[in-house]
Amino acid sequence: MREIKAKTGMAIWRRDEETGQEYSLKLTAAGLKARAVDAGDLQPGASPSASPSANKDRSKASHATNAAAMSTKVASTSQAPRQGAKIARVIALLQRDQGAKLDELIAATGWLPHTARAALTGLRHRGYDVRLERGEKGRASLYRAVATLATAS
């Protein structure tokens, strides 16, 4: 770790009495590597005499497992939006039989067009099956939410 000057919102490690300057701690790349090796040593069945390359492989596997667990946790906890939230209004419009036009989404939320389209992408990341049905010449495109992963399984 190394000491850096604290910026707004950072946790304070110490304060210099003479100057009043506040300092925080930052984990260095070497610290990350050391921490990864330590975490690898704590794995069940790890032998203390294992080679460094075995520790490295175990560490990579541990990081991959942790990342997968975190993404699953995030996906499962962020499925349903809060009642009354703008994104809940968007979902309700998308799940109607006729779907929703971009203009309807903008009117319902007060968002700019690029924000409304970004919200649709966010819904896709959350597991909603949002589909775009292109309108013929002179007609607006429709967006529909066919189903969610939670209801499909």
pLDDT in tens, 25-67: 888 888 888 877 665 555 555 444 555 555 555 555 555 555 5
The CA distances from residue 106 to 17, 91, 111, in Å, are 54, 13, 5
Regarding whether 73 and 6 lie in a shared domain, the answer is: yes
Regarding whether 92 and 42 lie in a shared domain, the answer is: no
Dihedral angle sign, alpha carbons of residues 147, 119, 10, 33: positive
Percent of the chain with pLDDT over 90: 35
Tell me, rounded to whole angstroms, the distance of Cα 142 from its chain centroid.
Answer: 27
Distance (Å, rounded) from C-alpha 22 to C-alpha 37?
31
State yes or no: pLDDT of 102 exceeds 90. Answer: yes
Last residue of a domain, one of 77, 101, 134: 77
Last residue of a domain, one of 35, 54, 77: 77
Dihedral angle sign, alpha carbons of residues 44, 49, 50, 55: positive
Q: Domain residues for 125?
A: 86-152
Regarding whether 63 and 37 lie in a shared domain, the answer is: yes
Q: What is the mean pLDDT of residues 125-153?
A: 78
Q: What is the pLDDT, as a whole number, of residue 56?
A: 53
Is this prediction's pTM over 0.85? no
Distance (Å, rounded) from C-alpha 153 to C-alpha 139?
35
Q: How many domains does the chain have?
A: 2
Q: What interhelical angle do 113-125 and 102-109 show, nearest 10? A: 100
